């Protein structure tokens, strides 16, 4: 965009005029993108998979092709939530989709095993074992209570000195500590939970009382894991044992089980009724392989997330850019005055994408570009460049699509950044030395 602007500055066209031309071109480009966009049904897994495979196609994980794509699609669709009109700002604007992939899709990497053993769990898993060896390790339809307070005796807030003269006083002190913990456990047991999960510690005495009541306890679970469990089983995290209510207990989990994978124990909360959080379990030969696969999976997750928010697609392979460029060239004649030159230049600047694609496939760039331009002169179409064969193809047939949100954002950012820089005096003339 900036390189295109240089010629106008030499002709003494004022930067404000150039910026105005660029802005008009941007609005026109958005209209063209809208007309080119193809709506997609997010519930149609086959169509989603096609787009995600275009994104993962060139990466390390493409060897496992459809498998990785399905993992991504399945996990994102699990965490999508329609937030009703209440939170929709003024006047309660329609349904807003919440899709927090970062917080609610946890990727758990465990070295060893085949990549084919990776799966999306209907619920969550975390790396913990029960606090006491006699506690139950498998419960069907458990009642789950989540806490973020310690189940142990509270130390004095400030430094406390206690002077003990009689032996009984010492016993009284110890008994008070025990009674405190007993009372706390009694409050918890009153609600008959099967599993208690806390972010802080659980003392030995508390374990004893919980074990007697047949409750399985887990301690020092991460805050993020706790939030995920709350979403998956429908529980509320409670801060004080004396404030527990029946509604805080999570009952949405079908099966709780502690399993050993490799050398470590993992807790699985599976078969949840409506898991709005999930864990993707990745298995692979080594840590490096796992890290690489996780990075690829994150890319795929973001693509699906973008599609959930804005369910429209644009053709890839330079087709969108060429279509916008040609549309701008046609519309330029309607613009009055000097602004039509910068208006047209935006279209020329966008042609850098198909041109670079053509260079990368090693074909005759001029010939391909001329052919592509000719295809788009009649009107916007999905003709683009096949990056493997270096020939022109319809992107619909090749199946290379890109999320509408990403494409539009790219064009907006490019134009707006260029406009911002153009407003600074002499910034373009200092860009490169004159030949």
Output the CA–CA distances (angstroms, integers) from residue 238 to 66, 186, 432, in the order listed: 41, 16, 62
d(CA 135, CA 318): 60
For residue 109, what are the β-bridge partners?
282
**Which of the residue ranges 70-79, 227-236, 290-299, 325-334 would you say has the lowest mean pLDDT?**
70-79
Averaged pLDDT score across all residues of the chain: 84
In the 8-state DSSP scheme, what is residue 328?
A: H
93, two tokens: 């604007």
What percentage of the chain carries pLDDT values higher than 70?
92
At residue 415, the pLDDT reads 92
Find, among 300, 295, 319, 304, the residue nearest to 393 by Cα.
319
pLDDT tens column, 356-382: 988 888 888 899 889 888 888 877 788
Q: Spell out the residues 6+ positions from residue 52 whose beta carbon is closer than 8 angstroms to its own.
A: 69, 72, 73, 300, 303, 304
CA distances to 358, 368, 426, 428 from 389, in Å: 10, 12, 43, 37
Better-scored residue on pLDDT, 157 or 112: 112
Strand partners, 140: 255
Task: Name residues whose C-beta falls within 8 Å of residue 324's C-beta, 6 or more positions apart in sequence.
Answer: 29, 32, 33, 347, 350, 411
Predicted confidence (pLDDT) at residue 241 exceeds the cutoff of 90: no
Q: How much is the average pLDDT of 250-261?
A: 88
**99 vs 195, residue with greater confidence:** 195
**CB contact at 8 A, 303 and 55:** yes
Question: Mean per-residue pLDDT for 306-317?
Answer: 83
Whole-model pTM: value is: 0.73
pLDDT at res. 413 = 94
Q: Which range has highest mean pLDDT (326-330, 387-391, 397-401)?
A: 326-330
Q: Report whether pLDDT(158) > 80.
A: no
Residue 96 has pLDDT above 90, yes or no: no
pLDDT class of 62 with cuts at 50, 70, 90: low
Q: 169 Cβ partners below 8 Å, 6+ apart?
A: none
Q: How confident is the model at residue 293 (pLDDT cuts 50, 70, 90)?
A: confident
φ, ψ at 222 (rounded to 5°): -60, 150
- Tokens (6 digits) for 50: 């096609």
- Which pLDDT does position 89 carry in this prediction? 46
């Amino acid at each position: 965009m900036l390189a295109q602007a240089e010629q106008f500055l030499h002709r003494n066209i004022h930067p404000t005029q150039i910026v105005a031309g660029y802005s008009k071109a941007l609005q026109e480009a958005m209209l063209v993108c809208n007309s080119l966009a193809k709506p997609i049904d997010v519930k149609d897994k086959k169509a989603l998979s096609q787009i995600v495979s275009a994104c993962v196609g060139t990466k390390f994980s493409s060897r496992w092709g459809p498998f990785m794509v399905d993992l991504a699609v399945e996990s994102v669709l699990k965490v999508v939530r329609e937030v009703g009109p209440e939170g929709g700002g003024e006047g309660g604007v329609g349904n807003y989709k919440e899709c927090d992939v970062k917080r609610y899709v946890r990727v758990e990497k465990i070295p060893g095993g085949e990549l084919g053993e990776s799966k999306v769990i209907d619920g969550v898993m975390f790396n913990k074992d029960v606090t006491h060896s006699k506690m139950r390790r498998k419960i069907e339809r458990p009642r789950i209570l989540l806490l973020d307070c310690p189940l142990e005796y509270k130390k004095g807030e400030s430094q406390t000195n206690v002077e003990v003269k009689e032996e009984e006083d010492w016993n009284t002190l110890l008994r008070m500590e025990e009674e405190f913990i007993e009372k706390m456990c009694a409050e918890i047991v009153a609600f008959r939970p099967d599993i208690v999960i806390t972010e802080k510690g659980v003392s030995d005495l508390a374990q004893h009382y919980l074990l007697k009541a047949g409750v399985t306890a887990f301690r020092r679970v991460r805050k993020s894991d706790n939030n995920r469990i709350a979403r998956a089983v429908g529980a509320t995290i409670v801060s004080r044992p004396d404030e527990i209510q029946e509604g805080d207990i999570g009952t949405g989990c079908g099966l709780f089980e502690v399993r050993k994978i490799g050398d470590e124990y993992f807790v699985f909360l599976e078969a949840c009724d409506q898991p709005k959080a999930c864990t993707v379990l990745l298995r692979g030969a080594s840590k490096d392989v796992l890290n690489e696969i996780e990075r690829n999976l994150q890319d795929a997750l973001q693509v699906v997330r973008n599609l959930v928010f804005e369910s429209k697609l644009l053709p890839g392979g330079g087709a969108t850019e060429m279509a916008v460029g040609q549309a701008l060239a046609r519309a330029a004649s309607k613009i009055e005055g000097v602004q039509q030159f910068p208006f047209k230049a935006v279209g020329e600047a966008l042609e850098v994408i198909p041109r670079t694609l053509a260079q990368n496939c090693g074909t005759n760039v001029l010939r391909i570009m001329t052919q592509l331009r000719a295809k788009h002169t009649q009107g916007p179409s999905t003709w683009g460049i096949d990056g493997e064969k270096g020939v022109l193809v319809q992107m619909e047939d090749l199946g290379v699509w890109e999320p509408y949100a990403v494409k539009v954002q790219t064009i907006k950012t490019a134009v707006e950044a260029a406009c911002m820089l153009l407003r600074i005096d002499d910034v373009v003339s200092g860009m490169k030395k004159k030949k």
